[in-house]
Amino acid sequence: MASFVLVHGAWHGGWCWDKLVRALRESGHEVVAPDLPGHGDDTTPQEVVDLQAYTDRVCEAVDAIPGEVVLVGHSLGGLTISQVAEHRADRLRCLVFLAAFIPGPDGDIADNTGIAAQALREATHLSDDGHSLCFDPLHVREIFYADCSDADVERAQAKLCPQPQGVFRSHLELSEEGYGRVPRDYIVCLQDRALPVEGQRGLIDRYGCRNVYSMDRSHSPFFSAPAELAKILGEIADG
């Protein structure tokens, strides 16, 4: 059995993993799915949130678990788990990128997030105070949850929060001695409308992964196919 820390992406919170948490625990795994600062039930002011705040929160979650951890990042969470790996390489069994960004060696976030679908970029706008990136709820289903149930979409729409803008102004500090020595696996979502499949495969080709898995799902398989996703994660942990 393995220990998993699940790291959500932009606009989401630890709540998005609930179905997957249950599926993994039913298989005997230990699972933690924290809210990143400014997300879910966390009340950290948006204006002070940056990638370092995300990293610190996930490092705390990793430190609280004895033994090796499988660190899973969804979407923007791929950048967070990469920075955590720089600081906790000795504690990690592997990194799993779920339809997620993989950072380049230069640590530039703006270049990496350029693979996001045009529709996703058009569905967002900056908040009046400039601290957050807001998502148009009219486009939530088509971009994030195309194959999800009405109940899951309604729940997600009620829980999505503004995305702290400071994260996108951050810079990753990565090295071969830290992040570079943690094995990387990738789960491609073939129906993804947020990070198109060609963008996901481009990141894999450019930066490399140990194993690549595919799911014929949209951007959020933790809603639409938790059992299938749990099975893949179990295989990765056993590998």
pLDDT at 110: 60
pLDDT in tens, 23-63: 999 999 999 999 999 999 999 999 999 999 999 999 999 99
Whole-structure pTM value? 0.96
What is the Cα–Cα distance from 122 to 118, expressed in whole angstroms? 6
pLDDT at 220: 98
The residues spanned by each domain of the chain are 3-238
pLDDT at 106: 73
What is the Cα–Cα distance from 2 to 233, expressed in whole angstroms? 10
pLDDT at 112: 66
205 is written with which tokens?
């080709």
pLDDT at 116: 80
Residue numbers of the chain with a pLDDT score lower than 70 = 108-114
CATH 3.60.10.10 fits 3-238, yes or no: no
pLDDT at 153: 96
pLDDT at 171: 86
Phi first, then psi, for residue 114 (nearest 5°) are -65, -15
- Distances 53 to 42, 60, 128, 157, 168 between C-alpha atoms, Å: 12, 11, 23, 25, 13
